[in-house]
Amino acid sequence: MTLAAATNEHLASMSNTLIYSSMAVYTLAFFAYIAEWLFGSRSKVARTADALTADTRAGQGPAVTVKQAGGTAVLERPKVVVRAAAGARDVPDGPGAHGGDVQGDLYGRIAVSLTVLAFVVELAGVITRAASVQRAPWGNMYEFNITFSTVAVAVYLGLLALKKNVRWMGLFLTTTVLLDLGLAVTVLYTASDQLVPALHSYWLYIHVSTAIFCGAVFYVGAVATILYLFKDSYETKLQTGGKPGAFATSVLERLPASATLDKFAYKVNAAVFPLWTFTIIAGAIWAGDAWGRYWNWDPKETWSFITWVAYAGYLHARATAGWKGRKAAYLAMIAFGCFLFNYYGVNIFVTGKHSYAGV
């Protein structure tokens, strides 16, 4: 074995170690996020929600008690508006996973710190994998998976750095990242190898990198959409006089309002959609260079286009038909389902020109 080959093998082994190490740290972050939710559930959120619910059903807000001339006085209860004239509920955002509990907030901060550490370790694993083959680490599904999860965490941390209220997403993010990495190291793992000739192009860096980033942002939008559906059902039950279970109240009351989640998901998907359009165009140009045809209705090309149509339909319905709420959310989930099938299903179960390195 030559020195270069031995060095590459060592780097590949180091990459595997770093990926497993990042999984261990993500697991610690996962438990810290759980602790944040558990300690947050001990706060006054649920009791306050019950009081607001009871008063809202009576058409009034909670009583306001103030000190007055050495004693106390109860002021008139203000009316609580639960639905605006335009059809959107006027509901405040929840306090977050910590629920206003100081200890819960501490665990949340610890969880974010562990997430940052896990991200750095995983990023080092991706970079080491690239160094072991001296190319971009996107030649097979294993490499795509570890890069995808790294970028998804980067998007989450980036939103936190921009002071966006998204820490409630941490538990859901680490859960899916662990599932993604577990699938990568068990089912999708492929030893380091050189690219097939068709992939030797600078378009690899342009097309695949944008596809990974778009997928990570679509994922963030999908998480917000799923949580919106749960929160909307919760708010609807409160509005109609129902009483959700203690667990639902404890969890959902701490999330942003359904209108906030709906708006956030829409902004995320709308922001990244032009880049997804560019991804498809870049892929077509690359196909023209590699295969002599810009479009061949290969399964990967077809499902990329179907995903584009689905997201375009979602954005169009929001912008022109005024679709908001659950109808738009269902369209968004269908679109993300198309992306997932394009990501996993086409690569694993369908054979085409994009089938490289087994998986």
CA dihedral (8, 13, 14, 17) in degrees, to 10, reads 160
Give the mean pLDDT of 267-286.
Answer: 93
Two tokens, residue 65? 């008690």
Share of the chain above pLDDT 70, in %: 80
Task: Report residue 292 CA to chain centroid gap.
Answer: 37
Q: Which of 46-50, 75-79, 103-107, 253-257 has the lowest mean pLDDT?
A: 75-79
Give the mean pLDDT of 265-290.
Answer: 91
Burial class (CB in 10 A: 0-12, 13-18, 19+), 59: exposed
Residue, of 80 and 295, whose pLDDT is higher: 295
Q: Residue 43 pLDDT > 70, yes or no?
A: no
Give the mean pLDDT of 241-254.
Answer: 84
Cα angle 131, 133, 137 (rounded to 5 degrees) comes to 75
CA distance 38 to 34: 6
pLDDT band, residue 12 (cuts 50/70/90): confident
Residues 6+ apart with CB under 8 A from 202: none
Give the mean pLDDT of 164-181.
Answer: 93
Give the mean pLDDT of 236-261.
Answer: 86
Q: Which of 60-74, 122-136, 194-208 has the lowest mean pLDDT?
A: 60-74
Q: Residue 295 pLDDT > 60, yes or no?
A: yes
Cα angle 147, 345, 204 (rounded to 5 degrees) comes to 40
pLDDT band, residue 224 (cuts 50/70/90): very high
Q: Residue 67 pLDDT > 60, yes or no?
A: no
Q: Coil, helix or strand for 14?
A: helix
Q: Residue 78 pLDDT > 60, yes or no?
A: no
CA distance 120 to 154: 10
Per-residue pLDDT at 74? 45
3-state helix, strand, coil in the chain (%, to 5): 70, 5, 30
Residue, of 135 and 254, whose pLDDT is higher: 254
* pLDDT tens-place string over residues 304-349: 999 999 999 999 888 876 677 788 899 999 999 999 998 888 877 7
* pLDDT tens-place string over residues 128-162: 999 888 888 887 889 889 999 999 999 999 999 99
Per-residue pLDDT at 279? 93
Per-residue CA distances from 225 to 113, 203, 262, 270, 309 (Å)? 26, 32, 6, 13, 18
Q: Tokens 């690239």 map to which residue?
A: 130
Give the mean pLDDT of 248-261.
Answer: 89
* Mean pLDDT rounded to a whole number for the chain: 82
Give the mean pLDDT of 173-202.
Answer: 83
Burial class (CB in 10 A: 0-12, 13-18, 19+), 254: buried
Q: What are 66's strand-pairing partners?
A: 73
Q: Which amino acid is at 261?
A: L
